[in-house]
Homo-oligomer: A and B are copies of this chain.
Amino acid sequence: MSESTELRVPLPDLTAWTCPAPLRDQPRVVMGHGGGGAMSAELVQHIFAPAFGGQTLSQLGDSAAVSLGGVRLAFSTDSFVVRPLFFPGGSIGDLAVNGTVNDLAMSGARAAYLSCGFILEEGVEVSVVGRVAEALGSAARVAGVEVATGDTKVVEAGHGDGIFINTSGIGLIPAGVDLRPERVVPGDVLIVSGDIGVHGVAIMSVREGLEFGVEIESDCAALGGLVEAMLAVTSDLHVLRDPTRGGLAAALNEIAAASGTGVVIQERSVPVPPAVANACAILGLDPMYVANEGKLVAFVPREHADAVLSAMRAHPLGAAATVIGEAVEAHPGMVVARTGLGGTRVVDLPIGEQLPRIC
């Protein structure tokens, strides 16, 4: 048992680990660390990125662009812990497919293969696992991606929560496509593909037993085809992002910070369906911070903006696409909304998450 120690990993000194300063006030993990906002970013920047030490991880995008055998691939992972497992318009099964397919699409890649890791809680009904698997398989067929490999673990009752799913995915990045927030420049036009806030409000409506008069269905969908239609206009899109956890506000703040440009949005142009607006008003939420799962934002060079917008509107998942703002030289790294009354307000990066476990 001792012949191979030189290739074994030395155990880290368990007593010597020092908490990085920005995390010291919070010695235990709280829900906000999983919210996709500032607290999530702190974990990545101060714990994961230094420990893992890779070049790629530090890009912090939805997916990584990597090279293998001379081929450029997008590679992405997401764990899904949504509660409840079934909600209006979807389930953890199709969410697990669309979440990862969309992360790959934000690199310009059409998802080719998915992996699928289930962590089941002892006692969950086999029929629930079966229905989730069927939803996952259906979503994979709609998205045109193959589930190539999988894994199942079971944890004792009370040590999990029904079903958690991790999916990872790989896909080819087409030649000439280079989608990164660093490519955003002042003058770029900001387009959103449709109504925002829908997925988060749909989850909230069932979780909290709230009735908003009208049933709101999640917008959960796979965006690979829409992105292909946009790239058919020009490979020179600058950045795409799907505004999931933390909503439009988190996505735009990440892009502003990474690109060093300012972002201005026209608040009245942001498409918020009345049912979402009403629900947010009742609950005291800002739709800008509510999660989406079938929408994207794009920063597009001004000369291509009209053509890209037309291509989006010709696609069923982009029929309501609209321009909501632009990248500017002023206030670098900041997102500012022009309100309907002619004023402005800063749209901050959320700290944690107003609604945990929406994906």
Q: Which residues of A contact B (CB under 8 A)?
A: 1, 3-4, 6-12, 14, 17, 19-20, 23, 26-35, 40, 43-44, 47-48, 51-57, 63-64, 66, 68-71, 73, 75-81, 86, 89-91, 94, 112-113, 115-127, 129-131, 133-142, 146-156, 158-161, 164, 166, 168, 170-172, 194-195, 198, 216-217, 219-222, 225, 273, 275, 294, 316-317, 319-320, 356-357
The answer on a CB contact under 8 Å between A90 and B9 is yes
Number of copies of chain A assembled together:
2
Alpha-carbon distance between A47 and B136 when the two chains are bound, in angstroms: 11
The answer on a CB contact under 8 Å between A152 and B73 is no
Alpha-carbon distance between A32 and B35 when the two chains are bound, in angstroms: 33
Alpha-carbon distance between A326 and B28 when the two chains are bound, in angstroms: 52
The answer on a CB contact under 8 Å between A153 and B64 is no
The answer on a CB contact under 8 Å between B150 and A44 is yes
The answer on a CB contact under 8 Å between A4 and B219 is yes
Residues from chain B with Cβ under 8 Å of A115 in the complex: 64, 75-77, 168
Name which residue of chain B comes closest to A55, CB basis: B146
The answer on a CB contact under 8 Å between B4 and A149 is no
Cross-chain pairs A/B with CB under 8 angstroms, 30 sampled: A4-B194, A4-B319, A7-B142, A7-B221, A8-B90, A11-B86, A12-B91, A19-B126, A26-B126, A27-B126, A29-B126, A31-B154, A33-B120, A34-B120, A51-B130, A51-B134, A54-B148, A56-B149, A57-B147, A57-B148, A68-B112, A69-B73, A75-B113, A75-B149, A76-B149, A77-B117, A77-B166, A117-B166, A159-B160, A170-B170
Residues from chain B with Cβ under 8 Å of A168 in the complex: 77, 115, 117, 166, 168
Alpha-carbon distance between A168 and B326 when the two chains are bound, in angstroms: 37
Alpha-carbon distance between A129 and B151 when the two chains are bound, in angstroms: 23
